[in-house]
Each structure stands twice: as C-alpha cells, then as structure tokens.
Amino acid sequence: MSQAVAPKHTNPPLVALTEDEQLFRDNIRQFADEKVRPHVREMDEKGVFEKSLIDDFFQLGLMGIEIPEQYGGGGGTFFEAILAVEELSRVDASAGVIVDVQNTLVNNALMKWTTDEQKKRYLPKQAADTVGAYALSEASSGSDAFAMQTKAELKGNDWVLNGRKLWITNGKEAGVFIMLATVDPAAGYKGITAFIVEKGFPGFTVGKKEDKLGIRASSTCELILEDCKVPKENLLGEKGKGYKIAIETLNEGRIGIGAQMLGVARGAFEYAVKYAQERKQFGKAISDFQGVQFQLAQMATDIEAARMLVYNAARMKDAGMDFVKEAAMVKLFASQVAERVTSLAIEIYGGYGFTRDYPVEKYWRDSKIGKIYEGTSNMQLQTIAKLVLGGR
C-alpha cells in the first residue's frame, strides 16, 4: 500500500459544524489528500518540508486564518484554525504543525499584544508570505520555562539579546520570531520579556536543525543570538510581562497540538480500517474477527472522545470563556489517544506495519511528540489537578 493512497475518511463529528465550517473543512481535506499526501514519504525521508506546499498554505489563507481582513487575513475563528490543523495532520503531522504554530502561537500573540504600528507592520506579512516561529525553550529551560538564560539589555535605541534557543519549530522557514528573554535574571518570571525578532536582524543566526524521530519534515532548530540588535519598538507587550504572553499563548497552542494529535490518530485509524477489510487470513478479512473489531471499536471511541475535547475547548476560546483546564485536558488526552491508536494500527498491519513500506509506522513516530512539546503530559496533569482542586 502506497503512502499516497488515501483511505476513506471518517465521518464528521457529532459536534455541530456550520455549513461554512463544513465547507472550510472539506476544502482543506481535499487539498491535504490531493496536494500534501503525494509528498509525505519523501519529506519524511529527507527531513525537509516541500516549499511549494508552504506557498500553497499562504495562497489558501491557511497561514492567517484569524488575522483580520484589514490586514489581509481571513478574519476567521480559532475553531477554523483548529479544523485546518486537524485535517492537515490527518495526512501529515509536519504540515499540521507548521499551520498550527503560525496560527495558534505566533499570529495570536501578534494580534493580542502588539501596538497598532506593529500590527500594520507584521500582520500583513504573516498572512501573505512570512512564516512565524515561537522561541521559548532552551537547554536549561524546558518544563521550567522561565529558567531561561537568554538575556536582553537595552542599549540606546536597541535591545541587545544574547543566548541560545533550542527545539524551535519552523526555525528554518521562519522570517519572524516571537522571542522570550530575561531583562533581569534575579527577578525570575517577572524579568521575562517578549520581543519580535526578524531573521535578518544583526547577530541572529539559525543553527542546527534537529534530526528527529517524528514530524521529520517540520524544522526544529537552534537559534543563536550574539549581540542581536532588536529595535526598541519591537518590544512585544510590556517589559517584564513576557511570562503572561507566554502562558496565555501556550494555552491556545495546546488546543492546536490536541488538534494535531487528533488528526494523526484519525489518519492511522483510517488506514487500519482499510487494511483490516483488505487483509485476508484463514479465508476471510481480518475485520471479520471479533478481536480486530474490538480494537477498531476502541480506537474509534478514543478518537471521538478526543475530538469532543478538542472542539469544545476551541469553541470555549472563541466564546471568550476560561479554557485553561480544558486546553490542558485536550493536550493530555489527545496525545495519549494518538499514541494508543497509532500503536494499535501497527499491530493490525502486523509485520507489514513495522516496515516503512506502509504508512502507519510514521503516524506512530509522529504521535510521540504530542506528549512532549508545548508542555509535557506531567505538566498538563499538574495544571488540571491545580484547577480541579481549586474549584475550577
């Protein structure tokens, strides 16, 4: 079975979609099947994302879904961005995460925290042709996100940044970076400050691209700042309030990762159903055996439960409700489901599933990152427990 052969897609969710949302989803699904799927295997093997697809993302409006129309964006909803991430990830998780980071992290931060002048300068680029990246993590700063060592010092009309960032998604392709640094290490999280850094700023370099287990076509890079000069007007929000920007942005991003993991689970499940109906043993399709039927039933149930969590949290965000607990639940559960479903898909394929000639092993590899980036599963459990015990 070729990676480029699309199995029959699963039915739409029980959560009601408007006609416009259904059309939006169906268009992206068709694009993913027809344009993205043929490149998936080669992109995974080479560890490089096909540039023409990124150009297509911009032309289709997928890189500026929520950006207001006055800045060249789609003026859409967060829920639509989540639908896009899910449908792309169903075919390729690397495609999903490029659109996810652009919309749920970078664009959301720029829309919420920029001045009017910054909006005029950056939002049209984000909608038209500029990939964005979100630079928080460092070697000593993972789950303890605010133990960062990258420093920022105001010198005349420029902020001068020094340090290194690690594991930055979209690092290779990005032209704009939301960069977190500390202006006062002794102040702890109160010293964290956010900046808008352009790739061409003096002293900024994109370093090594990581060779990863999964989402291999998505670039994950080191960023090097050596006396990097950032104009004073590129401060994002207020000095010392970067922690607030980071926390609020990551809460939205976790719903995006949930959507990515939902798409990964769906993609593997669809292949597993198709294969189970085609594979013959003991004179009949393996889907006729109750053991396989029960596995598929459990997979379908897990996917549907994850879908409800993802869609509900996205609706809450659009409605202006408090969704912090729900976002943590989404990322925790959807990543668990993706890992379980993709693993079972390999088992249904048997020995074939363990080879790279068939697509399900890639879905399993892609699923693993869901429990790690944008907050590990343990951090999500801690957030959920805190809010549950606190009455939320």
Is the CB of residue 310 less than 8 Å from the CB of residue 259?
A: yes
Residues in the chain: 392
Is the CB of residue 225 less than 8 Å from the CB of residue 163?
A: yes
Is the CB of residue 384 less than 8 Å from the CB of residue 312?
A: no
374 is annotated as an active-site residue: yes
Q: Amino acid identity, residue 145? A: A
Query: How many angstroms separate the most distant Cα atoms in the chain?
Result: 79
Rounded Cα–Cα distance for residues 23 and 17 (Å) = 10
* Distances 353 to 217, 296, 337, 338, 363 between C-alpha atoms, Å: 21, 15, 18, 16, 11
User: Which residues are within 8 A (CB) of 313 and not within 5 positions of it... i.e. 6 or more apart?
Assistant: 255, 258, 323, 326, 327, 329, 330
Q: How far is CA 289 from the centre of its chain?
A: 37
Is the CB of residue 22 less than 8 Å from the CB of residue 12?
A: yes
Q: Which two three-digit tokens encode residue 191?
A: 């010293």
Helices (H), the chain: 19-31, 40-46, 51-59, 78-91, 93-100, 108-113, 116-128, 242-278, 290-318, 324-349, 360-367, 377-389
Rounded Cα–Cα distance for residues 39 and 34 (Å) = 10
- Give me the active site residues, please: 374
